[in-house]
Structure 1
Amino acid sequence: MLGSQMRRRKPRILCLHGFRTSGEILKKMMGKWPDAVLEKFDFDFPDAPSPAKGKSDIEGLYDPPYYEWYQVNKVECFNFEECIAYIEDHMIKHGPFDGLLGFSQGGMLASVLPWMQREGVAFTKVPKIKFVVVISGFALRELKSGPPKLLVNAFSAPVECPSLHMIGSELEHLQCQRCKQRFTFYFPTKNFSTLIINTNSALNLSDCAKTI
């Protein structure tokens, strides 16, 4: 009986929202995806640990509260280690999770988690991450103080984890070609299943499934 239940379990996906948004907002945006996609997975939408420390770009479109995973300026990154510990603790309490989905700032996190798990610097207490979906993701900018300690040797070798990347070509804060170059570097194609989807307009998360 237990084995039969395990076979019927939907793949569980941890969904990491964007900068100064929330889990509820990401859930609403993805709610417009086709039922044929949504019904195949079990999605979890946590809020980031830090309340937004400034104005959100989606004020007036979606109701608060708003959250952010970490903070960064040109010099250094703040609360990154605390953010990672928060996500791992959530995965322990609410898992097991099969994969990750991240949008914007959450996409950056989703892309680095498999590497940190492989290197043993984080996520050692949870099952292996089987796949990631990165929507409008980006690489953490180069900082004068250097990367967070957990990312000092990030992506020094290929990571064996299938990934799907969705990139809007007209997003003002992202240059699509730069993103593809970054992903090619961060996610080598050898032993790594990567698909980069180009959209011809600013990416609407609600339409991502239709893009596929």
Structure 2
Amino acid sequence: MESEGYQIRKPRVLCLHGYRTSGDILRKQVCKWPESVLSKLDLVFVDGPFPAQGKSDVEGIFDPPYYEWFQFNKVFTEYTNFDECLEYIDDCMIKHGPIDGLLGFSQGAILSAALPGLQAKGMALKKVPKIKFIIIIGGAKFRSESLVEKAYSSQIECPSLHFLGKEDFLRPYGTELLKSCLDPVVIHHPKGHTVPRLDEESLPVMLSFVEKIQKMLPGEETDIQAMEADTIQP
């Protein structure tokens, strides 16, 4: 409930797209959600720092250009340009800030889930406030031993919402990620590796999570009260 003179601001969310897609593509994927959810969030969509270095799986479905956040080997244990990626996200959070939380899909979800732990260890996002929540769609944990030690050695304490698809090839890894999170909220859906629509079962869960993170944010003084305060003389 809003206090007199204050208004609740929307959680501002930096949205990290999937591998070899784009911010605009993720916007189209997320905008399948109902207005009752979208109207309560301030979503910021950005492109990854690197142009796609190969064929995109969404060619013929979504138009280019396509981007990626970093590069990796075939078994996903070694990463290239990862430090540059972290610096880029830091800069995006400053440019579009204040950012309250992260939403990620696929490669963007893997990043989003690792960032709170990396930030807590002083390994990432050193210039911005602490991440307050994460929304993980088709995510997983990094497999690099050094990153595992840094990102998940302590539980992810910020509120987290996880989408797990029944047919998603990353489902086992997304399920494993839940063990690294304190009190994760989970939405199960019947689809594969995609941003799912919200049905009558998942919508209340989503709205409850949004309400929870909204309560974490301070109210903002309304213009009227601010102007009245300016007129008071000492």
TM over 0.5: yes
1:101 matched residue in structure 2: 103
Q: Is the contact made by 1:37 and 1:209 (CA closer than 8 Å) also made in structure 2?
A: no
1:83 and 2:85 matched: yes
1:128 is matched with which residue: 119, 122, 130? 130
1:194 is matched with which residue: 181, 184, 189? 184
Cα gap change, 1:54 to 1:208, in 2 (>3 Å): farther
Q: Is the contact made by 2:138 and 2:194 (CA closer than 8 Å) also made in structure 1?
A: no
Paired residues for 1:40-189 under 5 Å: 40-73=40-73, 74=75, 76-142=78-144, 146-147=145-146, 152-171=149-168, 173-174=169-170, 176-184=171-179, 186-187=180-181
**1:157, CA displacement in angstroms?**
1.6
Residue by residue over 1:123-159, the C-alpha shift from the partner in whole angstroms, topping out at 9 and shown as x without a partner, is 12111111100000012234xxx545xx543311223
**1:203, CA displacement in angstroms?**
4.9
Q: Is the contact made by 1:76 and 1:147 (CA closer than 8 Å) also made in structure 2?
A: no
Q: How many residues were matched structurally? A: 197
Rounded Cα–Cα distance in structure 2 between residues aligned with 1:16 and 1:197? 19
Give the gaps of 5 or more residues in structure 2. Answer: 204-234
SS at match of 1:92: helix
Residue by residue over 1:152-179, the C-alpha shift from the partner in whole angstroms, topping out at 9 and shown as x without a partner, is 43311223201000011212x32x2343
Please identify runs of 4+ aligned residues in structure 1 that moved more than 4 A.
Answer: none
RMSD of the TM alignment (CA)? 2.0
Give the gaps of 5 or more residues in structure 1. Answer: none
Question: Which has the larger Rg?
Answer: 2
**1:4, CA displacement in angstroms?**
5.1
Cα gap change, 1:104 to 1:122, in 2 (>3 Å): same
**1:116, CA displacement in angstroms?**
1.3
What amino acid does structure 2 have at the position aligned with 1:179?
A: G
Rounded Cα–Cα distance in structure 2 between residues aligned with 1:209 and 1:124? 38
TM-score normalised by L of structure 1 = 0.85
Rounded Cα–Cα distance in structure 2 between residues aligned with 1:130 and 1:153? 19
Cα gap change, 1:38 to 1:209, in 2 (>3 Å): farther
Percent same amino acid at aligned positions?
A: 48
Q: Is the contact made by 1:118 and 1:159 (CA closer than 8 Å) also made in structure 2?
A: no
TM-score normalised by L of structure 2 = 0.77
Rounded Cα–Cα distance in structure 2 between residues aligned with 1:4 and 1:86? 37
Q: Is the contact made by 2:162 and 2:184 (CA closer than 8 Å) also made in structure 1?
A: yes
